[in-house]
Amino acid sequence: MKNRSGFVLTGGASRRMGRDKALLEWQGTTLVERIAKRVREAAGSVALVGHPERYTALGIPGIADRRPDAGPLGGIEAALAASDADWNLIVACDMPCVTTPFLDSLLTEAERSGADCLVPVTPDGRVQPLCAAYNRRCLEPFTEALDRGIRSAAGALELVRAALRPFENDTWAANVNDPEDLAHHPACPEANGLR
């Protein structure tokens, strides 16, 4: 087994945006291509999780959700089931300010943590399970959670040994959910969140 793999979650319905968030234009590329590039640089590989048929033109490998409409936790389960790596970087497609150094730092700390996953926390205490590193050990508990009707990724963290990692800033966590977010999104610094 290899030690690292990377995945970008693209399976959301994008209801608030009104169109597929993953394919939104962002600084000369699409959101999903921007994030996939950073995930690949940090983890050594990348695959899109959700609806592979939507993104074939991008040339990035895709994985279908095992459980349609199971929310982000279903996407995390699909990624872990498809992975052949110990540690898996899983990032939502709507976080344009994540950087390669930030994502690499998550994986590096996760590998040293002794935990089942390492999840960043913003300064105001928001846990961010959709930009985190998960060991394949999380697959079985997350599958059981989904079988019991749990759909919340944050809720499923209670079933594993989760290391919560506070960061002093939250520029990496800014996401794009609706047209207003897109219009008013702050500029992304090239390096962020490493302290």
Token couple for 77 = 């389960």
* Single pTM value for the model: 0.89
Mind listing the pLDDT tens digit for each residue in 120-161?
999 999 999 999 999 999 999 999 999 999 989 999 999 999
Mind listing the pLDDT tens digit for each residue in 84-127?
999 999 999 888 889 999 999 999 999 999 999 999 999 999 99
Kindly state the average pLDDT of the residues 21-37.
Answer: 80
Distance of alpha carbon 99 from alpha carbon 105, whole angstroms: 10
Determine contact, residues 114/105, Cβ cutoff 8 Å.
no
Query: Within 13 A of 152's CA, how many CA atoms are on the CB side?
Result: 7
Q: Is domain 2-182 in CATH 3.90.550.10, yes or no?
A: yes
Helices and strands per DSSP (H, E), number in the chain:
6, 9
Task: Tell me whether residue 195 is exposed, middle or buried, using C-beta atoms within 10 angstroms of its C-beta: 0 to 12, 13 to 18, 19 or more.
Answer: exposed
